[in-house]
Structure 1
Amino acid sequence: MRGNAAILKEQGNVAFKAGQLTKASELYQRAEQADPKDHVYPSNLSAALYELGDYKGSVDAVCRSWSLLQDCRDAKADLVLRLSTRLAKALCHGVRAGTITRKIIDAYETAISQLRHAATERLAKVTNVPAIDDLTRSWEEWDVTQAEYNEGSQNADDCLNRWARLPLFCKPLDHTKEFFPIGTDAVIDLTEGWDFQSSYPLHVNKLPLDRLSQIAFLFGGVGDGRHVFGTICGLHNTYKKLSKAKQAHFRSHITMLDVHDGMIARDLCILMLLHEYNTAASEKARVAISATLMYTYLGAAMPSYCYDKLQGVIKDLQKRLAATPPDLPPWLHVVADTIPAVTRILEYWTKTVKSTHEILAAYNHTGLMDRPDPSDVMSSPGINPELKQALEAGRMAKRESIRNMILGMSDADLVRRGMLPANASPAAARAFLERDMDGIVDAMERMMAGNRVPAFEEDWFRHTKVFLPPQELFKAHPAFVQGRKEIKEGAQMSKAAETKAINHIISDWKPNITLFDLSHADPRFYPDLDGYPTLDLDIFDTVNQLGEFVRRDQPEDLRLRPRGRDALAWQTCDAFFREVAAALKTLGSRIRIELICGGLSEELAKMRFNGDLTRPKEFPRKYTRMWLSNVPDYTHGPMNMSIYVAPNLQDHSQAAVACNCLLNTGAWANDAEFFHTYTFLLPGEFPRYLACPVIDEHAIMGNLVLGVKSLPRPLSELATRDELITWLARVLFNTFIHGHSLPAPTNVRLPHNLVAFFGLLMHLHRVGYPGHWLSDFMSRVLSGQLLSDVPPYDDVYPIAVSHRNRRVQPRRVRTDPWLVDFENIIATAYHAIPFPIAGALPADFSRSPDDIVVWEAHVQEAEFASHRFANFTGHSPHDPRTHLLFYRSDVATADRITGDVRRIFEGKPTPAPGTFFILTAQEYVQYETCIRFRLSKTRYEKMKQEKWSTVAYRNDTGDVGK
């Protein structure tokens, strides 16, 4: 047996050196079983288990080895030293990770004490000074870890709570939120997938009974709520197909989340109108409510009776939300800390008087024939040449198809479609067709892009900018009779009819007040406090999208068939909202809808770490599916999704999170460049580094879809240690040093700050990477001993895939400018960090979350941060670009430091460490008023005595404010 054990050990050594740690541990374990009296085998096993991150198993094996070794008089000092060091490290990591408990520590108390003492006694016989230093540091770390562990787990929970509230993104210089009250996407039903082209049905009937009561959807960046309404209808259809037994277990939850209070308030009004629709006593009342829904959802202006109905809903909501608890329908919930923000915007809507004339003047309706030529769109500044070439090739193929289709039509069809003069001879007609072919193809291309033939109402809308009311309410609008008649008969609206209709609208109609937010009363933009939204859209695209959804169960040729010329927007909207209302009525108590005003990543983090204290405990913290719209365009793309969104998916194969790309579609050469810019990974590498499956990688022209895997993953599935450390260095360096963004429509945003980077480390531990890989990396960062050949990227975004192969001469980079930022993060999260870090902290670092407080500095208006400046430079104050510089003005100037950050990072010795630092994370930034940030009280007092200065600056241009 001993011979077998020796052979197994040698095989284990070969596997260990090859990095096959799981195989090595299995071989060492078999060797120990073959010869349980030899201390070498459990010693080797402890090393393999430690490298695998199995710290409890490593402690067990060390203690078994020590029990055999302690009576050996000839035990080598080096071996005892290695075992003792490994024991201390495994204990630290196991306790921090939660895999080693008090019971285990108590069980091995004697062995721990003996092995520590034995190693100390043998130090005189050891000549390896680094090994001695490692032993000393490891046991000192254990002393700290054990003392902190004895304080209990409550500190960890408190730290997680505080950690969840740290800002993940660099702030924009102007915190005003952009308001897009009307969306542009096709309606999505998450029970069916992401759109008609991306089918990914949720097989509810196959879910176990316990899952049937946990169906939950989250809409991040919910916008106008269209996808929520589509999913409500989908849930209704799903519910109807279930057996009675399964219907009894069916429960669903929808979370509507948006960072803008105006969007949440607007969606809440729509939901309450749907509630009133379901409780209305007559069809006449339902028609009036349905008309109000249409005008509120899509219109710039509405009849006064619809405005009165909307104002009644707004005032009713004010009363309902003021009650304790809020008096809402049983299926509707507004999270408590969202109510003040919603109430503020509701009050604005009730007290603000706006002009119908002004809002219609601000409405730039772009119909099918008014759209820019597709070739003009593809010539937009900054559009990627590869994407432009691909789009142009696709467009030319489509135009050729249209041309061939026209040439294949009969003369009668061409006349009927208005492509040929009715009275021309066949020869003259064909000559006309050949002569005007390009113009006809242009018109057909535009109509096919909008998937519709313009209805007569679109001609009406071009004159009036309002929808026609339903026939049941038309008698209230006699001024519309003549104009409607003329257009419906195919004639141009006469000037008299147009004037009569417009005068009626101006005098008797009201603006859609839900299209306004508080920015329209901001004196920075509107000195008279009377701003109006600029509406540049083809609203009939949205009407058509609602219609396609209503017809979704029909065969494709019928579903995609354009609406008839006589169709009204009212008919489509009425059908859409009637279906939503019917779904809510049938589902009743089997559906709950909650509304949250907040950032997507931040709110999900609070849910994960039990920081969502104002949400009922029974509400879900994990979701079956999530749709993010194009929020990731603003929040660091798939990197943020994998770290801060995907962990909130339920752990089953049908769970998924999806988004699209709208902010900067033209910037990307391909999907690989999209992934690489945000993550420094290719789509195929994503699951191996982040344990996040990529279901669909086609983000640019389709949808990006990520799945979920149960965590932690076996180390054999993940990146190697060298791969991980190289990648972490690249991510960190590009958090320190930033590239440049072009203006819209190719504006790429990478706003993650060092809080987000540290969150990546915390997430990687959950993924399954050993804690000592992560703590060793952070130790080098914090000690200034990080040696790397990876260069940061400081050119224009996006980042070409070829950049991943760039290397420079290995050098020790300066990390000291960012250590105070790390202090704020580590002190806040200290007791919740899942790997030991105390031994790596600089001597002046705080370890107490209570020592980190928020400070406020008043600022002078910075010209470079203003909207006026942006008009000349293209550098928008909405870009998340703020860093804060703190410095001793007797050592250097702010301009000198901010202009030299890259060279300082690369090792330039001046300014010296300790004379300045940079904060990538801020609590609040408004370039005209104040900035709030976190610092330890101890550090602040020291800086105050030394008369430090601070400035805000853009991390791309280096422009400095005061």
Structure 2
Amino acid sequence: MAEAANQQGGVFYKEGKFAKAQKCYQQAVTLDPKEPKYASNLSAVLYELGRYAACIVAIHLSWNPLRQQNGSPSTPPESDPLALKLATRFAKAKLNGISNKTISLHGEAPTQPNAVKGDQATKDLEADIEKFAILERDGNVDAKVKEMRSIWEEWRSVREKCSTHSANECQAAIAAAQTRFRAIPIFKKAADPTMEFYRIGHDPVQSLMYGLFGSTTDQYRLDGNPDYANQREWSFLFGGFGDARHVFGTLMHLAHMSTRGGKNVNLKVHLTLMDIHPAPLARNLVIFSLLDQIRLSKDSSKRVELHAALFYLYTSIIMPDYCHQIVMQTARSLAQELPNGTHSVCQFIHVNPKSLPVVLELLKYWSTPIPKSTKEFLKFKGGLGDLLGGAGGLGALADIFGSMMSPPKKQLTGSSSSSDAYADPSGESSLLDNIHVALPPRTLLARHPALGKLVRTHQNAPETTYSAVKREIEDTWDPNPTFFDKVSTEHPQFALPGGYPNVLTSPLETTISFPKFCREFQRSAIAPFARGNSGFAVTSQFFELAAEAITKLHKSLKVEVVRSDVITGVAKLFAGDLGERPKDFPVTFTRMFLSNVPDYTNGVLNTAVHLVPHLPPKGLAMANCLLNTASFPTISDFCYNYALLLPRDFPRILGCEVTNPHKSCFDDIALVRLPLPRPLDQLATKKELHTWLSQLLLATLRTPNSSPAPGRVDAPNNLTAFLHVLCHLHLVGFPSHWIGDFWQSVISNNFVTDVALYLGRLPVPSTEMNSRKPLRKVHLDAWVAELQVTMASAKLALPFSVALPSEWPSLEDIGTYKAPLLSSDLQLIPGHSTSVMMSAGSPFIKATGLMFYQPSKEATIDKLASRVHAILEGEPRVRDVKVQILLGQEELDLRQGGIVSWKMSKSWFEKMKEEKWVLAAYRTDLSIPGEHLDFQRPCTTDAPIFCFYFPATEPLSADKWLEVA
């Protein structure tokens, strides 16, 4: 019976049905504990299941009867094949169990007599396994013995290191490695590090309490869902939140829930607002402060002024001087009182400690008049085409943005049907087209005599009236200070000449969704000043509800403001890397909304790896696609491009589900968290996993070519991002050694695959999923320097075991270096109208790699940058080239006075200097440096298109590199 159970277990094992195989092997061991092969087979299946501690116990059960087979208990002979398997598996299980924290070398010693006796017996048995493993063997040693010796050498080294420190010291070393790992950038750098400031949102307001489509039958709706009927604590993450319209929409909804049916329900609400750009953080602090003043104000006249200031701050490029005074005073008060926590908004707002300095800098900038002119600003408001044409060659985008914006514009314009411009949105819109400002509150119109006259006669006003209004606006209105950030607004490709922001949306267009949203939550009478259909009226209705929501929730409301990249920032925030965080703040989010941040951060792959784990089961990470919507026919195509997985495979590999994969990318894209870890029988097989990892690794090392706007698709991930994917797989439920075996092949440079490199343009089509070529070795020699840095920094943080080559550097051997690089190719082609922000050759795309090489006939930056695929394939023309490629940099700025800094081992640095290597930066997503990209049409002045030279730098010799640390 024991043998029958064992054979059935073997059948299940070969079929990959490990759980069933375990039951059979366990039965065989129970029936015949004296047969060592049964316990050995049990240990094998437990190892495959990733149950390393149980695997070691099964090895003990096998080793004892194996010793008995020699007569008196003794070490098995050196040639015993079963002993060889057990000894090898023992060391592997120990290494992987320690790496994934299921086994500890710092366990407390037992104190009970029987436990002490058992502990000693275990030590004696494991000492006997070690004795067998390190036996000197005569003659030729076969591969299996070499493997065993190598594994034991690694295991003994780890054990020896652990013996020299305490458990607390061990935990501290692991924590330090985890901190270093989180700090390593996961994205390539942009040639120009300037970040664009997104001031105004374009999408309809939504509440995260709704589902994906806002209907009462939506399965993802939180409000009205029986599963959440008793939930009283809500936490939401808003990444890249822009003008925070969805933040306010969610607040209104929660406030409505707290008083529904006349009952007061105490809801605890936490909103985390995270953005990599400090300006949206500072701007929304001003907005929250104005809302706080509105809700606390008892003076109706002052309340109208506050609403006017908020209206113009939120929607307009300029504002009346009295509104400007309110905004400046608000910013000044925040700058003075936020640091010591005395500002009234501190009751419900928490600014992350490390984010505060950059936020304060902007608040101080806005607290005094900025050196900008209303007259100059309005010169660029002659119409959409003129506006775009004036912004560093943005005229080529006028048709694109015009078509994008025409639907809401059409709803707002047309012939006026009323003599009252306040009652007729089309009348106000018509005025806006001519005077470029929205109407102030009716009660404040007397402060604008010329404008008041125009409003009364707007249907047939003479040109002299318009001229008077123009002069009045130039004299008594000021630029909206919160639209200026001192960086992007001074950048020639992000701003209008003279340092003015390029704002494409009109005040009436950005608020077009407000009335419908307000109707759903308006329960009290609308304030008299907010009645009507004017832009001010509908915006005031919206912010009145927002102020009421803060009043209803503020005792249990906390708005957390954090300056960070949202993809990697959440883990840093929770770990304390961004400063001390109150202990009662949540460490999971009910739901997340990321806007279109994933368009620039490798899409759903990084969302699944870095953010979805911070959701509860069934929690949603939602985003939209705005950069390249038309590039993806469906959400399924969007997912495949970024993750190289079809939606059906997300649960089997990434541990989450894709909602509505067959819908258009004009809909929200959402990932649903599944309970983790998942059972192994619900995951991909080891072969399937390794095939996918091979595809992902090759796509990371050799990025496919980008496409021109509006089909531009970014692929910013570097090798550290790939390593984070490997760590996430452990969380999903894959055994550590499945992951470690793959990474070991990379580290050891014996990576073999039949996966074909994709050499086409982005986006990657799903037809590439089965693209294969004959099995061959992939040559990774050119990435060793970067791999060494990453592993020296992060090895202790990894939840799987890998053995590093003995010659690889330690953390102490890693240095930081810098060099003065400058790309003359960042400038636009003279005489041509282009858009660097949208074009494939934009210097703002995270797509810069570094090439270190010894110059030769075949080693020039032009040739090497276009032959990365040849380097990977080991083609003869590059086989003898000495080159190292770094996809991760510490700092990069290729503008005038440009600089690059990077990390590498000191030995690599010295070798490169001695052998007279050079350094150049190159674009990873454009194959051929020096050639301009001609996108379909000839590059002529009368037919402006997107033309760009590839931004590769001139090589810089190693004698000009400098050591920083």
TM-score, scaled to structure 2: 0.85
Please report how far the alpha carbon of residue 543 of structure 1 lies from its aligned counterpart in structure 2 after TM superposition: 1.9
Please report how far the alpha carbon of residue 894 of structure 1 lies from its aligned counterpart in structure 2 after TM superposition: 2.9
Q: 1:189 to 1:12 in 2, by over 3 A?
A: same
> Which structure is higher in helix share?
1
Matches within 5 A, 1:14-25: 14-25=11-22
In the alignment, what sits opposite 2:355? 338
1:77–1:122 CA contact under 8 A, matched in 2: no
Give the letter for the 1:925 counterpart.
L
Please report how far the alpha carbon of residue 939 of structure 1 lies from its aligned counterpart in structure 2 after TM superposition: 3.2
In the alignment, what sits opposite 2:942? none
**2:24 is aligned with 1:27:** yes
- Between the aligned partners of 1:475 and 1:942, the Cα distance in structure 2 is 76
Any idea what the Cα deviations from partners look like across 1:147-182, whole Å, max 9, x if unmatched? 344441211101111111111111111111112201
Please report how far the alpha carbon of residue 645 of structure 1 lies from its aligned counterpart in structure 2 after TM superposition: 1.2
Please report how far the alpha carbon of residue 631 of structure 1 lies from its aligned counterpart in structure 2 after TM superposition: 0.5
Give the letter for the 1:680 counterpart.
L
Give identity over the alignment, percent: 32
1:365–1:536 CA contact under 8 A, matched in 2: no
Please report how far the alpha carbon of residue 243 of structure 1 lies from its aligned counterpart in structure 2 after TM superposition: 9.9
In the alignment, what sits opposite 1:561? none
Q: 1:110 to 1:903 in 2, by over 3 A?
A: same
**2:784 is aligned with 1:766:** no
For 1:143, which of 137, 147, 156 is the aligned residue?
156
Partner secondary structure for residue 592 of structure 2:
strand
In the alignment, what sits opposite 1:876? 842
2:676–2:731 CA contact under 8 A, matched in 1: yes
Give the letter for the 1:102 counterpart.
L
**2:105 is aligned with 1:97:** no
In the alignment, what sits opposite 2:5? 8
In the alignment, what sits opposite 2:501? 533
Please report how far the alpha carbon of residue 208 of structure 1 lies from its aligned counterpart in structure 2 after TM superposition: 8.3
Give the letter for the 1:112 counterpart.
E
Matches within 5 A, 1:2-151: 4-73=1-70, 77-102=80-105, 107=119, 108-121=122-135, 123=137, 129-150=142-163, 151=165
Any idea what the Cα deviations from partners look like across 1:545-594, whole Å, max 9, x if unmatched? 11121123599xxxxxxxx9972111101110000001101112211001
Q: 1:600 to 1:866 in 2, by over 3 A?
A: farther
Partner secondary structure for residue 536 of structure 1:
coil
Structure 2, unmatched stretches of 5+, are: 110-118, 389-395, 418-422, 524-529, 930-951, 955-965
- Between the aligned partners of 1:608 and 1:818, the Cα distance in structure 2 is 32
In the alignment, what sits opposite 2:291? 274
Moved more, 784-793 or 56-65: 784-793
- Between the aligned partners of 1:155 and 1:913, the Cα distance in structure 2 is 40
In the alignment, what sits opposite 2:937? none
In the alignment, what sits opposite 1:935? 904
In the alignment, what sits opposite 1:820? 785
Matches within 5 A, 1:396-407: none
Moved more, 319-328 or 175-184: 319-328
Please report how far the alpha carbon of residue 6 of structure 1 lies from its aligned counterpart in structure 2 after TM superposition: 1.4
Matches within 5 A, 1:440-479: 454-479=425-450
For 1:513, which of 481, 506, 512 is the aligned residue?
481
Please report how far the alpha carbon of residue 328 of structure 1 lies from its aligned counterpart in structure 2 after TM superposition: 4.5
- Between the aligned partners of 2:245 and 2:318, the Cα distance in structure 1 is 20
**2:808 is aligned with 1:845:** yes
Give the letter for the 2:147 counterpart.
D
**Aligned length, in residue pairs:** 870
Q: 1:174 to 1:528 in 2, by over 3 A?
A: same
RMSD of Structure 2 on Structure 1 (CA)? 3.3
Please report how far the alpha carbon of residue 805 of structure 1 lies from its aligned counterpart in structure 2 after TM superposition: 2.0
For 1:295, which of 300, 312, 316 is the aligned residue?
312
Please report how far the alpha carbon of residue 86 of structure 1 lies from its aligned counterpart in structure 2 after TM superposition: 0.7
In the alignment, what sits opposite 1:408? none
Q: 1:363 to 1:262 in 2, by over 3 A?
A: farther
For 1:663, which of 627, 644, 664 is the aligned residue?
627
1:364–1:536 CA contact under 8 A, matched in 2: no
Any idea what the Cα deviations from partners look like across 1:299-352, whole Å, max 9, x if unmatched? 121111101000101111110234378775210111111112112222333352
- Between the aligned partners of 2:730 and 2:669, the Cα distance in structure 1 is 25
Partner secondary structure for residue 828 of structure 1:
helix
- Between the aligned partners of 1:327 and 1:140, the Cα distance in structure 2 is 62
- Between the aligned partners of 2:580 and 2:881, the Cα distance in structure 1 is 41
Q: 1:378 to 1:298 in 2, by over 3 A?
A: closer
Matches within 5 A, 1:184-333: 184-196=202-214, 200-203=220-223, 212-213=232-233, 215-241=234-260, 247-248=265-266, 250-323=267-340, 328-333=345-350
**2:450 is aligned with 1:499:** no
1:25–1:48 CA contact under 8 A, matched in 2: yes
Partner secondary structure for residue 693 of structure 1:
strand
1:713–1:767 CA contact under 8 A, matched in 2: yes
Matches within 5 A, 1:682-693: 682-693=646-657
TM-score, scaled to structure 1: 0.85
In the alignment, what sits opposite 1:864? 825
1:141–1:836 CA contact under 8 A, matched in 2: no
Q: 1:453 to 1:712 in 2, by over 3 A?
A: farther
Any idea what the Cα deviations from partners look like across 1:683-723, whole Å, max 9, x if unmatched? 11111111112233336120111111232211101111111
Q: 1:379 to 1:495 in 2, by over 3 A?
A: closer
Please report how far the alpha carbon of residue 41 of structure 1 lies from its aligned counterpart in structure 2 after TM superposition: 1.6
Please report how far the alpha carbon of residue 956 of structure 1 lies from its aligned counterpart in structure 2 after TM superposition: 2.5
Partner secondary structure for residue 666 of structure 1:
helix
Partner secondary structure for residue 842 of structure 2:
coil
- Between the aligned partners of 1:907 and 1:232, the Cα distance in structure 2 is 57
Give the letter for the 1:142 counterpart.
W
Please report how far the alpha carbon of residue 525 of structure 1 lies from its aligned counterpart in structure 2 after TM superposition: 5.7
Q: 1:193 to 1:935 in 2, by over 3 A?
A: same
Give the letter for the 1:133 counterpart.
K
Q: 1:315 to 1:587 in 2, by over 3 A?
A: same
Give the letter for the 2:451 counterpart.
F
Any idea what the Cα deviations from partners look like across 1:254-310, whole Å, max 9, x if unmatched? 011111111111111101111111222311111110111100000121111101000
Please report how far the alpha carbon of residue 924 of structure 1 lies from its aligned counterpart in structure 2 after TM superposition: 1.7
1:951–1:961 CA contact under 8 A, matched in 2: yes
Partner secondary structure for residue 894 of structure 2:
coil
For 1:700, which of 642, 665, 675 is the aligned residue?
665
- Between the aligned partners of 1:463 and 1:277, the Cα distance in structure 2 is 31
**2:528 is aligned with 1:573:** no
In the alignment, what sits opposite 2:873? 906
Q: 1:300 to 1:69 in 2, by over 3 A?
A: same
Please report how far the alpha carbon of residue 235 of structure 1 lies from its aligned counterpart in structure 2 after TM superposition: 1.4
**2:645 is aligned with 1:681:** yes
In the alignment, what sits opposite 1:596? 562
Any idea what the Cα deviations from partners look like across 1:601-628, whole Å, max 9, x if unmatched? 1212313544333433332232111000
Please report how far the alpha carbon of residue 946 of structure 1 lies from its aligned counterpart in structure 2 after TM superposition: 3.7
- Between the aligned partners of 1:494 and 1:843, the Cα distance in structure 2 is 85
Give the letter for the 2:355 counterpart.
T
- Between the aligned partners of 2:827 and 2:692, the Cα distance in structure 1 is 36
- Between the aligned partners of 1:723 and 1:677, the Cα distance in structure 2 is 18
1:520–1:530 CA contact under 8 A, matched in 2: no
Any idea what the Cα deviations from partners look like across 1:181-239, whole Å, max 9, x if unmatched? 011011111112345366732148867899634x2101000101111111111111122
- Between the aligned partners of 2:544 and 2:157, the Cα distance in structure 1 is 64
In the alignment, what sits opposite 1:423? none
Give the letter for the 2:13 counterpart.
F
Structure 1, unmatched stretches of 5+, are: 371-376, 383-387, 396-401, 403-416, 421-451, 556-563
1:771–1:834 CA contact under 8 A, matched in 2: yes
Q: 1:365 to 1:293 in 2, by over 3 A?
A: farther
Any idea what the Cα deviations from partners look like across 1:607-664, whole Å, max 9, x if unmatched? 3544333433332232111000110011111111101111121x233x2110011100
Please report how far the alpha carbon of residue 784 of structure 1 lies from its aligned counterpart in structure 2 after TM superposition: 2.1
Give the letter for the 1:191 counterpart.
M
